[in-house]
């Protein structure tokens, strides 16, 4: 071993293993990654309790065993009023106290990687943003909004990882990108107990490139947060539950189904993404015009959609998806379009909340409605296989992250036999979606966010109270 190489390795050992500062870094990193798992678990509990609360508002259950239930017609109109005024409450709190918590949080996380303005990065990944994201999403989960929890999990994860750079020095590449990517990936992994999907998503969507010098940090973040979820929920926990299928050796005609499903799901998902981009811009302009009437109108729209869907569009859609996928419960044909409409109104409002769960619910409803058509083209496929392919196809069309969409479905259902078909429909859906929506939804929203910041006075570039450790000589 040559002298310079030996010196470099000695310095690496001294920095990472033999120094007090190195162990501080490791301890804070472990604490932050575990905290991401805790927050993801809290969001899951809040979603479950929020569904229980809204089930009470709809008159479907009592808060206590044997307790009083809300009678009709109050059970029909009370949820509509609740979701309407909840929208006003969340928007008011967001704009008055928690600016920067808008939307899913994934575009904001992507924006922090694109900007060289450290003041922007500090502001978007601050403790105030962390608290606001958790608080406002909790209100949203109890209000019947059609939203998921993965986007805020990503934003909170990135904020937690970024905040530890204020306490101890980290290498420059970790401060600028690695820890943010690790926190975002850990948020996805912990939200769905899908560590591979979290790892893939951090590079495929958040970074939009593979970064070898940061991959170790991302993997460690994902593993630690996922281990916490496994400890709390059990090693056998699957987000949707295990899919048992006899689909094995597909015929050529059955393989042809991936083209039909990928095309339909891709175009519909891309159309939804494009409408969301335009709708978010319009809603933003309307918010500037009137910050009272606009959220009330959007909330009232959610209430009307909830009324038309017999209350099935309220919430994330997780319960309905699980019933379609595992129990074969039949939902009417309008479940998918009305859930998509409710998701659109929620996303356009810019309140904190994700789109993974609602998009997967739309895909499940679409798959159930399209079963007769698919059976005519490719007879013999089991309903679960068709529904999963439609879920992935529509989801990939919306977010344009095909590998993540396929991998996360496999991890959420343990349906490893579906890996190739799901990858196939995801890639086809991605290509079809790009014909409708050229720039992906998250990237477009991130660019819009950065454009808005460019109109504000710039902060310091590459200079802040981040503790950056000088890079060791190579």
pTM of the model: 0.91
The average pLDDT across 450-468 equals 57
Task: Output the pLDDT for position 474.
Answer: 36
How far apart, in whole angstroms, are the C-alpha atoms of residue 73 and residue 70? 9
Neighbouring residues of 141: CB distance < 8 A, sequence distance ≥ 6: 43, 46, 47, 49, 50, 147, 149, 316
**How many whole angstroms separate alpha carbon 422 and alpha carbon 410?**
8
What pLDDT does residue 472 have?
Answer: 44
Q: Is the pLDDT confidence value at 171 over 90?
A: no
Per-residue pLDDT tens for 54-89? 999 998 888 777 678 888 889 899 999 999 999 999
Residue 470: the pLDDT is 52
Give the end of a domain, one of 200, 233, 266.
233
pLDDT band (50, 70, 90) for residue 357: very high
Q: Does the pLDDT value for residue 175 go beyond 70?
A: yes
pLDDT value at position 236? 81
The three-point CA angle 92-93-98 to 5° equals 125
What does the DSSP assignment read for 402-422?
A: HHHHHHHHHHHHT-GGGHHHH
103 vs 107: CA distance, rounded Å: 8
- Strand, helix or coil at 311? coil
Residue 312 lies in a domain: yes
CA–CA dist 435, 429 (Å, integer): 10
pLDDT at 260: 95
469 part of a folded domain: no
pLDDT at 404 over 80: yes
* Listed range (47-61, 135-149, 155-169, 203-217) with the worst mean pLDDT: 203-217
* Pair (365, 428) in one structural domain: yes
pLDDT in tens, 313-351: 999 999 999 999 998 899 999 999 999 999 999 999 999
Specify whether 96 is located in the same domain as 7.
yes
Are 297 and 421 members of one domain?
A: yes
Of 199, 233, 267, the domain-final residue: 233
Q: How far, in Å, CA of 29 to CA of 165, rounded?
A: 10
- Residue 210's pLDDT is 83
pLDDT of 460 > 60? The answer is no
In a domain, 240, yes or no: no
How confident is the model at residue 293, as a pLDDT?
95
| pLDDT of residue 21 exceeding 80 | no
Same domain membership, residue 259 and residue 228: no
Token digits of residue 466: 């981040």
Whether residue 182 is found in the same domain as residue 328: no
Give the domain range for residue 366: 252-454
Nearest C-alpha neighbor of 122 from the set 459, 468, 350:
459
Domain membership of residue 143 (yes or no) is yes
Q: Are residues 221 and 279 in the same domain?
A: no
**Count of domains for the chain:** 2
Which residues does 404 contact at the CB level (< 8 Å), separation at least 6? 197, 200, 201, 204, 205
Q: What is the pLDDT of residue 192?
A: 93
Question: Both 225 and 286 in a single domain?
Answer: no
Q: For position 451, what pLDDT does the model report?
A: 80
| 375 inside domain | yes
Domain-embedded: residue 468 = no
Query: What percent of the chain is predicted at pLDDT more than 70?
Result: 90
Query: Considering the domain boundaries, does residue 324 fall inside one?
Result: yes
**For position 161, which CATH number holds?**
1.10.3080.10
User: Looking at the domain assignment, is residue 155 inside a domain?
Assistant: yes
pLDDT of residue 213: 85
pLDDT of residue 17: 60
């Amino acid at each position: 071993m040559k002298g310079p190489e030996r010196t470099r390795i000695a310095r690496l050992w001294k920095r990472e293993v033999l120094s007090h500062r190195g162990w501080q870094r490791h301890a804070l990193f472990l604490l932050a990654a575990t905290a991401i798992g805790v927050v993801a678990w809290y969001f899951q509990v809040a979603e479950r309790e929020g569904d229980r609360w809204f089930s009470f508002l709809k008159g479907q259950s009592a808060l206590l065993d044997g307790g009083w239930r809300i009678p009709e017609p109050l059970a029909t109109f009370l949820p509509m009023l609740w979701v309407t005024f909840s929208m006003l409450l969340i928007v008011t709190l967001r704009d008055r106290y928690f600016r920067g918590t808008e939307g899913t949080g994934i575009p904001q996380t992507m924006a922090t990687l694109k900007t060289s303005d450290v003041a922007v990065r500090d502001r978007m990944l601050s403790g105030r943003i962390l608290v606001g994201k958790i608080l406002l999403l909790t209100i949203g989960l109890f209000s019947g909004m059609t939203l998921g929890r993965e986007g805020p999990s990503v934003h909170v994860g990135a904020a937690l990882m970024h905040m530890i750079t204020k306490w101890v020095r980290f290498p420059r590449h970790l401060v600028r990108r690695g820890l943010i990517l690790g926190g975002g990936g850990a948020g996805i992994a912990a939200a769905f107990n899908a560590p591979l999907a979290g790892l893939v998503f951090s590079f495929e969507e958040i970074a939009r490139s593979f970064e070898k010098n940061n991959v170790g940090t991302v993997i460690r973040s994902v593993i630690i947060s996922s281990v916490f979820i496994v400890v709390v929920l059990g090693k056998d926990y699957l987000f949707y539950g295990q899919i048992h299928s006899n689909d094995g050796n597909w015929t050529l005609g059955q393989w042809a189904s991936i083209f039909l499903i990928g095309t339909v799901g891709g175009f519909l998902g891309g159309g939804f993404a494009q409408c969301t981009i335009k709708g978010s811009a319009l809603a933003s302009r309307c918010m500037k015009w009137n910050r009272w009437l606009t959220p009330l109108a959007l909330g009232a729209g959610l209430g009307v959609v909830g009324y038309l869907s017999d209350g099935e569009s309220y919430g994330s859609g997780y319960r309905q998806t699980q019933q379609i996928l595992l129990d074969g419960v039949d939902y009417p044909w309008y479940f998918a379009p009305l859930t998509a409409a409710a998701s659109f109104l929620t996303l356009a409002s810019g309140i904190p909340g994700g789109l993974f769960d609602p998009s997967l619910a739309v895909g499940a409803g679409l798959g159930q409605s399209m079963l007769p058509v698919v059976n005519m083209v490719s007879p013999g496929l089991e309903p679960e296989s068709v529904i999963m392919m439609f879920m992935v196809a529509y989801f990939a069309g919306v977010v344009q992250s095909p590998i993540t969409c396929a991998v996360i479905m496999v991890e959420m259902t343990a349906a490893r036999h579906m890996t190739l078909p799901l990858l196939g429909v995801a890639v086809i859906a991605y290509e079809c979606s790009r014909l409708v929506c050229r720039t992906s939804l998250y990237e477009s929203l991130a660019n819009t966010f950065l454009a808005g910041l460019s109109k504000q006075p710039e902060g310091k570039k590459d200079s802040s109270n981040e503790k950056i450790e000088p890079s060791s000589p190579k």
